Amino acid sequence: MNTPVLVLNVNFEPINICDTRRAIGLILTGKAAMVINGRGAIYSVSQSFPRPSIIRLEYMVKRPRPRVKLMASEIFRRDNFTCQYCGRKDTKLTIDHIHPKRLGGKHIWENVVAACPTCNYRKGGKKLKETSLSLLKKPEEPASSLVYYFSQYLNETNEWLTFIEGW
């Protein structure tokens, strides 16, 4: 019942992911219709319900395109879990401000990178120009594409790909 289900808007634009329990509730109340049933059925004492993989809402939901939130996990994901100074892949990374906050640097996408503890210690609270370190690539805000948002679910459900890539 906790398996992810892709939720589409009326125009087949992917807008969310919910669990199977919520998807079945939306279908039974008439708020959504099943698009693809790729997972068999759920049986109760007197009925069986198809287990949806993709549902489509019966009404249009207007919402702006979301932006990627500036969080440590998203910074690590953007930088591919790689130290942006030495290039070492590591699971124990830290966040480094290229222009330190104490010297007026802002907490924005273009000023934060993933760094291993060794490089972060070497840089200290100095500006990048004052150290011998250099960046592997210029930090930027990740594109807010639907493939980026739903990428963690695409490995287990390839049937979603045709709906997500089109947007």
Domain borders along the chain are 4-65+144-165, 72-130
Q: What tens-digit pLDDT sequence spans the chain (167 residues)?
A: 778 888 999 998 888 889 989 999 999 999 999 988 777 778 888 888 888 888 999 999 887 777 888 999 999 989 999 999 999 998 899 999 999 999 999 999 999 999 999 999 999 889 989 999 999 999 999 877 777 777 766 665 567 777 777 65
Q: pTM here?
A: 0.66
CA-nearest of 24, 51, 28 to 40 is: 51
Give, for 72, the enclosing helix (H) or strand (E).
helix 72-78
72-130: CATH topology is: DNA Binding (I), subunit A (1.10.30)
Neighbouring residues of 165: CB distance < 8 A, sequence distance ≥ 6: 147
Can you tell me the distance from the alpha carbon of 19 to that of 44, in angstroms, rounded to the nearest whole number? Answer: 18
